[in-house]
Amino acid sequence: MQNSTSSIDFKKYKRFFAFGCSFTTYSWPTWADIIAKEIPDHYIYAKPGAGNFYIFQALMEAIIHHKINTDDLVMIMFSNITREDRFIKNQGWITPGNLYHQTEYSQEFLKKYLCHHGYLMRDLNLVQGCKLALENIGCDYDLMSMVPFDSEQSNDKKIDHVDYILRFYKDIIESVRPSVMDVVFNNDWESRPHRPEYFVQWQKQKYRDNHPTPAEHLEFLQRTYTDIKFSKFTLEFVNTCNEVVLSDNFVNSLHDVSPVIYPRLGEGTDYE
C-alpha cells in the first residue's frame, strides 16, 4: 500500500494501528478515529505534543507487543521536528510539543541545544527506521505528516541552509505523503477562517484552535486517497462531531466519541 494507492480497502485488514501526535488523537475525532470506524479492531498509539522520537518508540513497542503482521494496516502521521520527547519513570512520556510554545524546557536549554539541522537529521532517520521496520514485516502501511519536515516552527517559514540534508534524505522525504498543512490548509494555518473557538485557562478571550476539525481530517483522507469509500455511518459520525466542534458552546471535549488511546509500556500497563 505504501504511497502507491489512491484507496484503502478496509475489509482487507484484521487490525488497524495509528501513530502520531495531536493530529492523530485530540479532543475531537481525527483521521485515525475516522479510519477506526471502518476497522473495529484498532489501536491508537498517539499523544498530544508527541514528537517523532515518541512516535518511533511507540511503533517499535507496538510491533513487539501486538506482533504486527501482514494482516494489519499501519498508518503514521509524523509531527514537526522541533520537539523533545522523554520517558521518565513514574512520570511516563513527557511530550510538551513544539519547543517554541512550551514551558517544560528552559530558554537556556533551547539556546544551547535547539538546532534545526540536528532535529531534521534525527527525525528523518526515525522515519527511515519506521519505514524499514514495516517493510521488514511486510504489512501494508502509509506515512504522512502534519507539516513539511523543513518547516521551521510548524509554519510556512522554511529552515535555512538545510539543502544538503534534504538532498541526502530525498528518497525518505518522498516516501511520506504531502502534509496536512499543504493538503488542507494550503501551507497557511489561517487559510480556514471558520475555526473551533472555546475558553481556556491561559487567556480571557476564546482560544482559536487551528487543529483540523473532524471534517478537515476527512477532507485530508479524501484528498490523499481519492478513491477511498467510507460507510454512511462513518460520514454521519464525522458530520455530527464537526457540528459540535464548531458550535458556540463547544467545551473542547468529545472523548465519548473517540476510541480509547492504547496505553504505553510504563504508562498504565506492564503488558502482563
Longest CA pairwise span in the chain (Å):
52
C-alpha cell at 206: 476564546
User: Which pLDDT band, with edges at 50, 70 and 90, does 255 fall under?
Assistant: very low
**Of 170, 166, 164, which Cα lies nearest the Cα of 151?**
166
The parent domain of residue 148 ranges over 10-257
Residue where the block lists cell 519506521 = 130
> Does 1 map to a domain?
no
Percent of the chain surpassing pLDDT 70 = 94
Question: How far is 191 from 81, CA to CA, in rounded Å?
Answer: 23
Looking at residues 124-128, what average pLDDT do you find?
A: 98
> Does 267 map to a domain?
no
For residue 208, what are the β-bridge partners?
197
User: Which pLDDT band, with edges at 50, 70 and 90, does 148 fall under?
Assistant: very high
| pTM for the predicted model, two decimal places | 0.94
User: Which pLDDT band, with edges at 50, 70 and 90, does 268 fall under?
Assistant: confident
Confirm if 38 and 105 have CB atoms less than 8 A apart.
Answer: no
Residue where the block lists cell 491508537 = 44
Question: How far is 146 from 235, CA to CA, in rounded Å?
Answer: 22
Residue where the block lists cell 521536528 = 81
> Does 91 map to a domain?
yes
C-alpha cell at 197: 473557538
Q: What is the pLDDT of residue 254?
A: 53
Q: What is the pLDDT of residues 209-241, one digit of tens each?
A: 999 999 999 999 999 999 999 999 999 999 999
For residue 158, what are the β-bridge partners?
151
Q: What is the pLDDT of residues 87-119, one digit of tens each?
A: 999 889 999 999 999 999 999 999 999 999 999
Question: How far is 29 from 27, CA to CA, in rounded Å?
Answer: 7
Confirm if 92 and 54 have CB atoms less than 8 A apart.
Answer: no
Q: What are the φ and ψ backbone dihedral angles of 269, each rounded to 5 degrees?
A: -150, 145
Mean pLDDT of the chain: 92
C-alpha cell at 114: 535547539
138 SS3 class = coil
**Of 174, 183, 232, 237, which Cα lies nearest the Cα of 212?**
183
Q: What is the pLDDT of residues 150-201, one digit of tens each?
A: 998 888 889 999 999 999 999 999 999 999 999 999 999 999 888 988 887 7
> Does 122 map to a domain?
yes
Confirm if 269 and 52 have CB atoms less than 8 A apart.
Answer: no
Instruction: Please report the beta strands in 15-134, taking only residues with DSSP state E, as ranges in sequence order.
Output: 15-20, 42-46, 72-78, 86-88, 92-94
Question: How far is 31 from 28, CA to CA, in rounded Å?
Answer: 10
User: Which pLDDT band, with edges at 50, 70 and 90, does 62 fall under?
Assistant: very high
Q: What is the pLDDT of residue 3?
A: 65
Confirm if 142 and 75 have CB atoms less than 8 A apart.
Answer: yes
C-alpha cell at 265: 509500556
The domain total for the chain is 1
Does pLDDT of 60 surpass 80? yes
Q: What are the φ and ψ backbone dihedral angles of 31, each rounded to 5 degrees?
A: -55, -40
> Does 262 map to a domain?
no
> Does 35 map to a domain?
yes
Q: Give the CATH number for residue 189.
A: 3.40.50.1110
> Does 269 map to a domain?
no
> Does 272 map to a domain?
no
Does pLDDT of 259 surpass 60? no
